[in-house]
Chains A and B, each alone.
Chain A
């Protein structure tokens, strides 16, 4: 990974962690747009309910073992942010690997090097770089 990509990753992750861990504590507690609409119009869930979610220590963005407050919200927010980041980097790595495998096979079968970009875009791309 180049230094620039690593820098993006670290700086972006820090911003996300700050927002989830600290800023979110100051969020409005009012019902959101859909909840408010449902309350005002009397739209309720069906009595036979839906599919129950699996048990989780982070129900409603708080850690179950902590009293509701800054720490509980922060732990849940940080955990969720790290989880989403890990899932996406993992999925991205898998996609990247399958792309490379495909590219290797294509090169082997045709013995020609082709740009992975659509026609014409390659030239533009080069000219846009210093």
Chain B
């Protein structure tokens, strides 16, 4: 879902660069409390894993000729919290834009917002209300949250393309929005399923390294 170069108009990419820049500055300040000897290695490997996973495009279920890949911001929001999650996603997107020419350089702010800031906050929100031993509910919320994160990000991209006057005459905003979100609904289901699987795996192997570990660690114990 990386917006390519030349797709957004200067007011749109400029605004999003300022918004994402401010979010990242705040994240860097707030993340200082989070960066300890357990969480930094988890941030490193989860970031590397999301970069790797984004290279694996899969065929979108029910939409032939179309592929999708993991976003990962939602997953990082759950496991690392919003601040370290945003920092990790922004680092991935910068490497992709500058080294792999995937995603426009000027569109970085928009891409960081759609695939980093927004899904990381949603992941942290899900994680934040995830208390007690009701793990089934927590995983159902993770699945649903993954879908919402991808669809919301994809809808934002259409809004930005519309504001940039890139949607051709003869195509309505609603048509563009429905096509984009329907495709990303299918991609979002994969995102949600993978998020649940990875969260379960990391919680089973390193519960104490996960953001806001206390509620979860006791939940694991209660159900064990």
Q: Are B56 and A13 in contact (CB under 8 A)?
A: no
B167 to chain A, nearest CB (A): 6
Does the CB pair A128–B97 fall under 8 Å? Answer: no
A34 to B115, CA, bound (A): 13
Q: 0/1 per residue, A119-130, Cβ < 8 Å to B? A: 001001101110
Report whether over half of chain A's contact residues are helix, strand or loop; otherwise say mixed: helix
* Distance in Å: Cβ of B203 to nearest Cβ of chain A: 13
Identify which of B40, B67, B205, B208 gathers the most chain A CB atoms within 10 Å of its CB.
B40
Which of B45-53, B119-127, B140-148 makes up part of the contact surface? B45-53
In the complex, the answer to whether B168 meets A61 with C-beta atoms within 8 Å is no
Report the minimal beta-carbon distance from B27 to chain A, rounded to whole angstroms. 10
B31 to chain A, nearest CB (A): 5
A80 to chain B, nearest CB (A): 6
Hey, what's the 0/1 contact readout for B191-214 against A, CB within 8 Å counting as 1?
Answer: 000000000000001101100011
Q: How many A-B residue pairs have CB under 8 A?
A: 255
The residue that A16 contacts in the complex, of B48, B102, B157, B158, with Cβ under 8 A, is: B48
| Contact status B167-A41, CB under 8 Å | yes
* Contact across chains for B100 and A76 when beta carbons are under 8 A apart: yes
Q: Is the CB of A50 within 8 A of B45?
A: no
B65–A43 CB distance below 8 A: no
Interface of B toward A, CB cutoff 8 Å: 1-9, 13, 28, 31-49, 51-53, 55-60, 63, 65-69, 84, 87-88, 91-92, 95-102, 104-107, 154, 157-158, 161, 164, 166-168, 171, 175-176, 179-180, 183-184, 187, 205-206, 208-209, 213-215, 217-218, 221
Q: Given known contacts A46-B7, A83-B99, A124-B218, what 5 new A-B pairs fall within 8 Å (CB)? A: A1-B37, A8-B41, A50-B7, A88-B44, A92-B39
